[in-house]
Amino acid sequence: MSDVIERRSSGIPGDTTGFHQAVHSPGLAALDEIAATYSLENIHQLAEAGRQVIWGGRSWESPLVFACDTIPVAHDQLWATDSRRSEATAEDHFQVPGEFCSMIKAMIGRLHADRDRHIKKVLHFGSGCEPVNAVFELARRDGYDIHTIETVSAFTPEEKRPHAVAFLVRELHRVAVWLTGRPADEDRVAEEIRRKNSVIRKVKHLVELRAVHPFYVSASRTRQIFMGSMHGYGDLDAFGAALDLLIGELEALEPLPLPPSYIPLVIAGGVGNQRILDAIEESHGVIVGWVMNGTYEYREDVPPLESLAHYVLDAQGRGDLGEAVGASVSYRRTLVEEAVRRTGARGIVSASLIGCPYASMMQQLERDHFKQIGVPLIAIDTDVHREPPTEEQITRIKAFMEMLA
């Protein structure tokens, strides 16, 4: 393994501990290769060549979408490039206020700019945030074919009644008819569920191994892996093979104690800007717990469409997937508290998008809750653009880390 990893000094005078850091990782290289195929332009080329491609459908519903021979495109690709131009289109053409959520503005501006291209179908869940619903209604005017999965909610186990599951099963059959002209092929959906569960188990195992070797896979690369657990970058088999390589590398490492000055942290939400994650690690922060979307397995003891329905309703009740499935704004703090207790983290980084009403309320509830129980928390507000974070953001992160030290 000498060509793959090296042992680095912690840089602390008198400290003889160290950590493993990847120098050349076949697993990370394979991950880069599969992620590169998931660029927006590559996906547009597939659509132009005749493949069925849709916006959305890359989350909990992806087993059904893949079973319908359809490529789901994550909404984050709408702001992957030219996000400032898309935002300007939203403000100038659609008169969206400048202070509004950058994600919403980038979505509506990009859909408008791409209205004459080949990806014309959009799938979304009806209980998503209301501004997203408005985006898709405006996209309908631009000629997009919008399909809404009608919503049903169950915030407690008692509310997950059979009629709610049956309602969602009917809605999922409607999705299959919309995509293929016929009801869902349940055998294929079941196979896709098994494939996705396999990937989810690998991601969970990898994250457990990373907790022992947190610098071998950086925080920004770990976020990339979490994103892949949702959609597999369009190829679950290739993504799973990359995970296998990376797991093998981590399992071959000898355990090393972390330097005592390194501070374990839990991250809640998606910190989209890599430089912020880098600043945390440069300030001796070690991210040992993540509260991210899509890390729970699907049931395999029920028919496949019922399994998808159970997944949605269970996600609502535990706060997973957030507004994407209509989860209560107050539920994520429970998952964050569990992660802090499980990992022994000494602080929390809570992330949200500037101007997002859902995330802003959730973040304030987390501030109040963790202040009461004595766990330090820093709230980071970001936008969807690729520019480096502001000096103020970096300074706040470093000050938070110094306080914890």
pTM over the 0.85 mark: yes
Query: How many other C-beta atoms can be found within 10 angstroms of the C-beta atom of residue 143?
Result: 9
Q: Which residue has the tokens 């898309």?
A: 86
For residue 79, what is the domain's CATH number?
3.40.50.11890
Q: Which amino acid is at 231?
A: H
Residue 163: inside a domain, yes or no? no
Q: What is the pLDDT of residue 154?
A: 87
Within 8 A by CB and 6+ apart from 251, the residues are 209
Helix boundaries (H) for 124-263: 130-141, 162-180, 186-212, 219-231, 236-251
Q: What is the pLDDT of residue 5?
A: 39
Residues 67 and 208 in one domain: no
Q: What is the pLDDT of residue 280?
A: 86
Axis-axis angle for helices 332-343, 357-373 (nearest 10): 40
Residues 328 and 238 in one domain: yes
Residues 140 and 206 in one domain: no
If 0-12 CB within 10 Å is exposed, 13-18 middle and 19+ buried, where does residue 192 land?
Answer: buried
Residue 219: inside a domain, yes or no? yes
Residue 156: inside a domain, yes or no? no
Residue 100: inside a domain, yes or no? yes
Please identify, among 98, 117, 149, the residue that sits at the C-terminal boundary of a domain.
149
Q: What is the pLDDT of residue 293?
A: 67
Q: What angle do CA 337, 267, 101 make, to 5 degrees?
A: 110
Residues 327 and 213 in one domain: yes
Q: What is the pLDDT of residue 17?
A: 41
Q: What is the pLDDT of residue 317?
A: 87
Residue 39: inside a domain, yes or no? no
Residues 342 and 216 in one domain: yes
Running DSSP on this structure, what letter comes out for residue 100? Answer: S
Axis-axis angle for helices 391-404, 274-282 (nearest 10): 30
Residue 182: inside a domain, yes or no? no
Residues 359 and 306 in one domain: yes
Cβ contact 142:111 at 8 Å: yes
Residue 296: inside a domain, yes or no? yes
Q: What is the pLDDT of residue 224?
A: 86
Q: What is the pLDDT of residue 23?
A: 57
Residues 108 and 136 in one domain: yes
Give average pLDDT by consecutive 10-residue segment, the chain, 405 residues.
Answer: 38 40 80 86 91 92 95 87 93 92 93 94 87 91 95 86 95 98 97 95 91 83 85 87 96 82 86 76 86 84 97 89 81 91 92 80 90 94 81 88 90
Alpha-carbon gap, residue 303 to 160, rounded angstroms: 16
Please identify, among 94, 116, 149, the residue that sits at the C-terminal boundary of a domain.
149
Q: Which amino acid is at 325?
A: V
> Can you say whether the dihedral through the CA atoms of 70, 46, 27, 276 is positive or negative?
negative
Q: What is the pLDDT of residue 272?
A: 61
Alpha-carbon gap, residue 86 to 325, rounded angstroms: 26
For residue 273, what is the domain's CATH number?
3.40.50.11900
Q: Which amino acid is at 48?
A: E
Residues 322 and 212 in one domain: yes
Q: Domain residues for 75?
A: 47-149
Q: How many domains does the chain have?
A: 2
Cβ contact 116:50 at 8 Å: no
Alpha-carbon gap, residue 20 to 218, rounded angstroms: 11
Residues 143 and 199 in one domain: no
Residue 157: inside a domain, yes or no? no
Residues 16 and 121 in one domain: no
Residues 284 and 222 in one domain: yes
Alpha-carbon gap, residue 21 to 41, rounded angstroms: 33
Q: What is the pLDDT of residue 217?
A: 87
